[in-house]
Amino acid sequence: MKIKEIMSKDVISVKEDTPISEIAQIMSKEKIHAVPVLDAEDKVLGIITETDFFTKDSSNMVYMPSMIDFINSGKMKYGEGEKEAMHAVLHATAKDIMSSKCENVSPEMEVEDFVKLIKERSFNSYPVTDADGVLIGIITVADAIKLL
């Protein structure tokens, strides 16, 4: 069996200049865990997963869309240096948080080989691309598990 037989063909994707607040809304509304980021020719540049929305420091984790909502509410007072940092967060786009180390797979790949790949890698979602790198589908670890 080949990837093209089990992949999702209706893929929700974003462009590299899509605001992260919009991406968060899309992922939440559509209940998806990842969105490929495409260039103007629909070639895959990277992928954004749920974990890309978390900022981590030594003491806690912050979910960026919640932080953006809080900043936009105007309840926060900050100095000039902090204003620049907040401006950067508020205006971040897909290219700012995407993982560019995105492994694409071929629609002709055997599912058996895909299972080997997911055992070797820590990714959960894989864009399916044609020979030119154009997005034609997406396959997830869950898609492979359904076959068991």
Fold of 3-145: CBS-domain (3.10.580)
* Gap between the Cα atoms of 51 and 91, Å rounded: 19
Interior angle at CA 124, CA 123 and CA 128, nearest 5 = 90
Q: Parse the chain into domains and list their residue ranges.
A: 3-145
pLDDT at 25: 84
DSSP label at residue 40: T
How confident is the model at residue 40, as a pLDDT?
95
Q: What is the pLDDT along the chain (148 residues), one digit of tens a residue?
A: 999 999 999 999 999 999 988 898 898 889 888 999 999 999 999 999 888 776 544 444 455 555 556 555 666 566 666 656 566 666 789 998 899 888 999 999 999 999 999 989 878 899 999 999 999 999 999 888 888 6
Task: Determine the Cα–Cα distance for residues 143 and 48; give it in Å rounded to an integer.
Answer: 18
pTM confidence score = 0.79
